[in-house]
């Protein structure tokens, strides 16, 4: 999709399949409050826009859209008016919701060339860069098509996609809007990469596939990303007994993938380590899942997909921060060598873990990955994992649960997610739940019982410790949905990429 910001002397000359024009709720098209593009569009249609809005009851509420054929009065074939909500409540979050509705409608109209008559950025408490980034990122995310394998032979005729996205802005905003468009598209491309990875069949998205993609991303980073790959032999030397135990039942070899981004000048103002659960398929192991529970377990590497995609975006944006992405990639299968309930595993940091349930494998892989990150000098750790089904009892499918050992850092993560439209519930970690993971046989057991998401977080906290700020995001509720929500499609959502990039931006400042 090509993006461009430009100035036009008249909306009439703007060539597009659809011209998007925003209107605040309860305001007409006279431009009295600075909505000059809305006024121009109405004048060009000889007042028919305002008349149609009145006849169909269009008020300008967020989510409302109204299409109108221009009958040759403009170079654009149609004008699509969309609601921005009440002016006094407008901000960037509301704007994103508004353009989601507008862009979904434009795609439904099969528009390939979309033009947007930019609104006054100050009216949504933003700037030209923010408007450009929001529009480009949401257009690319909404334009996403699942990484499917349909064929023309099977009757697939293809979907209509956006080819061009143009913003009409005032002359003084062109440069910053164009920069926002470029960065927004880079961000969305990484979100879509994470979606592709989690949507791919597990027979294709194997640990080896993740290794190859990490190397490809590094090769395309202009030298800013370095990759270390640790195989079974190397992991055994490190003492990664928990991670290797999970991998025992699979014919696919496990790998610990370490990607390190360093700014081009070699200097960084801060550091962030991201750890992503990367179980490329989870059968449940010998405590095997029922068929319905196993059907979409290709998504169990969504945390790893998000971290890999985020470091790609951070490199593309050239942020002034050192960022490490750690992924312990494996399958959890039922082969003859599979680890068993009752086994006692020795983790990389020396703690022993009794296997209470082989389907609580994610926390075992993360335990060793977190210890590895600490050995590499992590000063802040955020992990993302499709860890527990129980998290849905708290947040449904609209948010993830955040757990942390440092209030300041946890609040930073949650506010970064909120700023990007990725909701989080900050869950208290009451100390009483820590003991639920204790074992008679070993230091810990890998399933502490209810409340499942909290006891799982406490298990990970034993490995994160208390000295390094750490946050765990349980994204099992939002990484993969059965419905469209906001800019997300059905299936994999790429949840977490935008939060991680926002975190890196804030720390870099």
> Residue 153: inside a domain, yes or no?
no
Cα–Cα dist 317/184, whole Å: 10
> Residue 32: inside a domain, yes or no?
yes
**181 lies in the same domain as 247:** no
Summarize pLDDT for 262-294 with one digit per residue, the tens.
Answer: 999 888 889 999 999 999 999 999 999 999 999
Are the beta carbons of 197 and 288 closer than 8 angstroms? no
Q: Is the dihedral of CA 178, 180, 186, 188 positive or negative?
A: negative
Query: When comparing pLDDT for 375 and 26, which is higher?
Result: 375
Summarize pLDDT for 443-455 with one digit per residue, the tens.
Answer: 999 999 999 999 9
Q: Is the dihedral of CA 155, 113, 312, 279 positive or negative?
A: negative
Percent of the chain past pLDDT 90, that is, above it, reads 86
**179 lies in the same domain as 280:** no
Active-site choice (289, 346, 481, 506): 289
> Residue 99: inside a domain, yes or no?
yes
**345 lies in the same domain as 255:** yes
Are the beta carbons of 257 and 214 closer than 8 angstroms? yes
> In a 10 Å sphere around its CB, with 0-12 CB exposed, 13-18 middle and 19+ buried, how is residue 76 labelled?
buried
**124 lies in the same domain as 215:** no
> Residue 138: inside a domain, yes or no?
yes
> Residue 154: inside a domain, yes or no?
no
> Residue 418: inside a domain, yes or no?
yes
CATH number at residue 28: 3.40.220.10
Does 23 score more than 60 pLDDT?
A: yes
- In this prediction, residue 347 carries a pLDDT of 98
Average pLDDT in the chain: 95
> Residue 151: inside a domain, yes or no?
no
Q: Please state the domain count of the chain.
A: 2
**141 lies in the same domain as 209:** no
Domain of residue 310, residue span: 201-508
Summarize pLDDT for 242-252 with one digit per residue, the tens.
Answer: 999 999 999 99
**167 lies in the same domain as 222:** no
- In this prediction, residue 37 carries a pLDDT of 83
- In this prediction, residue 32 carries a pLDDT of 54
Q: Where are the beta strands (DSSP E) in 198-296?
A: 225-230, 255-261, 271-282
- In this prediction, residue 33 carries a pLDDT of 59
Active-site choice (97, 105, 107, 363): 363
Q: Quick one: pLDDT band at residue 34, thresholds 50, 70, 90?
A: low
Cα–Cα dist 18/15, whole Å: 9
Q: Give CA separation, 460 vs 96, 153, 371, 447, in Å.
A: 34, 48, 10, 11
Q: What is the 3-state secondary structure (H, E, C) of 315-364?
A: HHHCCCCEEEEEEEEEEECCCCCCCCCCCEEECCCCCEEECCCCCCCHHH
Does 68 score more than 80 pLDDT?
A: yes
Triad 45, 23, 421: Cα angle to 5°: 140
- In this prediction, residue 336 carries a pLDDT of 97
Cα–Cα dist 427/401, whole Å: 6
Q: Is 363 one of the catalytic residues?
A: yes
Pairing of strands 444-445, 352-354: parallel
Summarize pLDDT for 394-430 with one digit per residue, the tens.
Answer: 999 999 999 999 999 999 999 999 999 999 999 999 9
Query: When comparing pLDDT for 47 and 284, which is higher?
Result: 284
**472 lies in the same domain as 430:** yes
- In this prediction, residue 154 carries a pLDDT of 84
CATH number at residue 452: 3.40.630.10
**296 lies in the same domain as 392:** yes
- In this prediction, residue 151 carries a pLDDT of 86
**210 lies in the same domain as 101:** no
Cα–Cα dist 104/117, whole Å: 17
- In this prediction, residue 120 carries a pLDDT of 87
**102 lies in the same domain as 60:** yes
**256 lies in the same domain as 403:** yes
Summarize pLDDT for 113-156 with one digit per residue, the tens.
Answer: 999 998 889 999 999 999 999 999 999 999 999 867 888 888 88
**388 lies in the same domain as 457:** yes
Does 457 score more than 60 pLDDT?
A: yes
- In this prediction, residue 383 carries a pLDDT of 98
pTM: 0.96
Cα–Cα dist 69/78, whole Å: 5
> Residue 494: inside a domain, yes or no?
yes
For 152, what's the count of Cα atoms within 13 Å in the CB-facing half-sphere?
2
């Amino acid at each position: 999709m090509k993006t461009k910001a430009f100035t036009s002397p008249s909306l009439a000359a703007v060539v597009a399949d659809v011209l998007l024009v925003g209107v605040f709720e309860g305001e007409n098209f006279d431009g009295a409050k600075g909505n000059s593009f809305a006024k121009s569009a109405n004048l060009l249609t000889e007042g028919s826009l305002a008349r149609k809005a009145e006849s169909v009851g269009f008020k300008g509420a967020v989510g409302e859209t109204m299409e109108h054929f221009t009958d040759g009065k403009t170079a654009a074939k149609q004008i699509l008016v969309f609601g921005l909500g009440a002016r006094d409540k407008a901000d960037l979050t509301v704007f994103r919701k508004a353009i989601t509705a507008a862009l979904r409608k434009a795609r439904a109209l099969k528009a390939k060339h979309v033009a947007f008559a930019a609104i006054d950025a100050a009216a949504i408490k933003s700037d030209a860069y923010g408007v450009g980034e929001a529009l480009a990122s949401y257009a690319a995310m909404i334009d996403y098509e699942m990484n499917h394998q349909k064929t023309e032979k099977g009757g697939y005729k293809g979907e209509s996609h956006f080819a061009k996205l143009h913003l009409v802005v005032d002359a003084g905003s062109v440069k910053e809007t164009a920069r926002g468009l470029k960065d927004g598209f880079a961000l969305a491309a990484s979100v879509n990469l994470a979606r592709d990875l989690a949507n791919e069949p597990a027979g294709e998205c194997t640990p080896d596939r993740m290794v190859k993609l990490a190397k490809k991303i590094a090769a395309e980073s202009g030298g800013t990303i370095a990759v270390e790959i640790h195989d079974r032999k190397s992991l055994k030397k490190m003492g990664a007994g928990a991670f290797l135990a999970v991998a025992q039942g699979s014919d696919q070899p496990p790998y610990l993938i370490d990607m390190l981004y360093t700014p081009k000048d070699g200097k960084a103002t801060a550091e962030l380590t991201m750890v992503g659960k990367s179980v490329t398929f989870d059968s449940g192991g010998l405590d095997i899942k029922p068929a319905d529970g196993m059907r979409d377990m290709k998504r169990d590497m969504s945390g790893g997909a998000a971290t890999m995609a985020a470091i790609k975006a951070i490199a593309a944006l050239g942020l002034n921060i050192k960022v490490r992405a750690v992924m312990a990639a494996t399958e959890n299968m039922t082969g003859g060598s599979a680890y068993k309930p009752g086994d006692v595993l020795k983790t990389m940091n020396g703690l022993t873990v009794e296997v209470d349930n082989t389907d609580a494998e994610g926390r075992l892989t993360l335990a060793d990955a977190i210890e590895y990150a600490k050995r590499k000098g992590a000063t802040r750790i955020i992990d993302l994992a499709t860890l527990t089904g129980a998290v849905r009892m708290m947040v449904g499918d609209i948010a993830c649960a955040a757990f942390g050992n440092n209030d300041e850092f946890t609040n930073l993560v949650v506010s970064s997610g909120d700023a990007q439209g990725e909701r989080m519930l900050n869950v208290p970690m009451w100390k009483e739940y820590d003991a639920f993971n204790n074992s008679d046989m070993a230091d810990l057991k890998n399933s502490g019982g209810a409340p499942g998401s909290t006891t799982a977080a406490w298990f990970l906290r034993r490995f994160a410790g208390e000295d390094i700020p750490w946050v765990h995001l349980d994204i099992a509720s939002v990484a993969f949905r059965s419905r469209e929500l906001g800019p997300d499609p059905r299936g994999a959502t790429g949840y977490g990429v935008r939060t991680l990039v926002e975190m890196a931006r804030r720390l870099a400042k």
